[in-house]
């Protein structure tokens, strides 16, 4: 699995499955019953589950009470909004997009992340540049 990059400022620390509250594990199992290569991390008070489903990398951030905060899924560069690809091509000519991720917040807001030249570029659903975060 290609490692997902979480835009969170808090450093994640790996935790064992037995350290994850049952309600958190239950929510993950109910929403993603076919996970492979599950890795748990703790980010502040929340739990981040990284796994694969059908060879796609996922990361799901869940609070201690079992609410999904956000879901990240690796996507192909082809599915990145056209304006996001144009932004990268214009501002970083000759640089390659190394990884692309679709981020869906709990309220349904979708953003995209494109890793280029050691930076993670965040775009809104239409591909408008929002910010850059150092990898």
| Dist. CA 135–CA 130, nearest whole Å | 16
Q: Which part of the chain is CATH 3.40.1420.30?
A: 76-135
Q: Per CATH, which fold does 13-73 belong to?
A: Nuclear Transport Factor 2; Chain: A, (3.10.450)
| Dist. CA 128–CA 45, nearest whole Å | 31
Q: What pLDDT, on a 0 to 100 scale, did the predictor assign at position 1?
A: 38
Report residue 55: phi and psi, to 5°.
65, 15
Q: Which part of the chain is CATH 3.10.450.360?
A: 13-73
For residue 115, give the nearest of 27, 13, 3, 1 by alpha carbon: 3
Q: What pLDDT, on a 0 to 100 scale, did the predictor assign at position 11?
A: 63
| Dist. CA 22–CA 58, nearest whole Å | 20
Per-residue pLDDT of the chain (135 residues; tens, 9 = 90+): 344 444 444 467 999 999 999 999 999 999 999 888 899 999 999 999 999 988 889 999 999 999 999 999 999 999 999 999 999 999 999 999 999 999 999 999 999 999 998 899 999 999 999 999 986
Report residue 28: phi and psi, to 5°.
-65, -45
Q: What pLDDT, on a 0 to 100 scale, did the predictor assign at position 96?
A: 94
Q: Are strands 110-116 and 36-43 parallel, antiparallel or unpaired?
A: unpaired
Q: Which numeric CATH code is attached to 76-135? A: 3.40.1420.30
Q: Which residues of 113-130 are buried (b: 16+ CB within 10 A; e: fewer)?
A: bbbbeeebbbbeeebebe
pTM score, two decimals? Answer: 0.85
């Amino acid at each position: 699995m290609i490692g997902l990059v979480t835009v969170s400022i808090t450093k994640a620390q790996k935790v064992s499955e037995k350290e994850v509250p049952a309600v958190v594990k239950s929510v993950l199992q109910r929403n993603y019953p076919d996970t492979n290569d599950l890795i748990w991390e703790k980010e502040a008070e929340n739990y981040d589950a990284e796994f694969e489903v059908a060879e796609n990398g996922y990361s799901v951030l869940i609070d201690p009470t079992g609410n999904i905060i956000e879901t990240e899924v690796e996507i192909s560069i082809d599915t990145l909004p056209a304006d996001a690809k144009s932004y990268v091509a214009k501002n970083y000519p000759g640089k390659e997009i190394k990884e692309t991720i679709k981020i869906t917040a709990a309220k349904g807001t979708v953003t995209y992340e494109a890793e280029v030249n050691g930076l993670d570029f965040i775009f809104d659903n239409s591909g408008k540049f929002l910010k850059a975060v150092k990898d």
